Amino acid sequence: MKNIIGLILCSLFVFLSSCAPKPGSPEAQLKLRKEEIKKVEKKVEDTVDDIPDWCLNVPISDFALSACGAGESANMNMARNRAILDAKRQLADSIDSEISSRMEDFLKSTGMGSNEQVKQASEIVTKNTTIQAKLTGYKQTNTKAYSRGNKYQFFVLLEYPIGRANQALMNEIKKDEVLSTQKDADKAMAELEAEINKRKKK
């Protein structure tokens, strides 16, 4: 009886091993690839589940620009730094758009947007203002960290006051001889100042 059971088990083992793909065969490689894909899909699912709501639905405000950054690293501090850098890059794009939009409004108000000298001056002022705005002024409003295996996932929400970017632009325009001396520059500055005041938190 023991011999029969041993023979059945041996036959079953031979049958099952003949069904398994041979190492290095296309079937074995395909099986390994499918397992890798499943691991990646699981990691993506876990990451998506961990994303904070304030990162999925970034706050919108008339007073501030917001951006959510994400960073991952085996080192917690590095994950945090990467998240902040990611959010700052996004904020920088938004600040560029905001400042460019305000400069266009200023040029339209002066009626000198087609003058080449004015265009060059406005480009320099816009660039200088954007550089200033990117360096300082943001504040961290929310953070969340997770550990997953041997890595940390860090999320950060940064906020930058719109009024501060517009104020920096106005200061640069005032310093520029070409822009500040244009016809209707005072009127355009008054409009920009009104926009700044409107966008400052009370």
- Report how far residue 192's alpha carbon sits from residue 45's, in angstroms, rounded to the nearest whole number: 46
Place of tokens 């520059």: 185
- Give me the torsion for CA of 36, 42, 45, 49, rounded to 10°: -140
- Sorting pLDDT into bands at 50, 70 and 90, what band is 202? very low
Q: HSE of 10 in the Cβ direction (CA atoms, 13 Å)?
A: 6
Chain CA centroid to CA 86, Å: 5
User: What would the pLDDT profile of 23-47 be if each residue is shown by its tens digit?
Assistant: 667 776 777 777 777 666 666 565 5
- Sorting pLDDT into bands at 50, 70 and 90, what band is 55? very high
In the chain, where are the structural domains located? Answer: 34-198
CATH code linked to domain 34-198? 3.10.129
Which among 39, 44, 17, 14 is positioned nearest to 28, based on CA atoms? 17
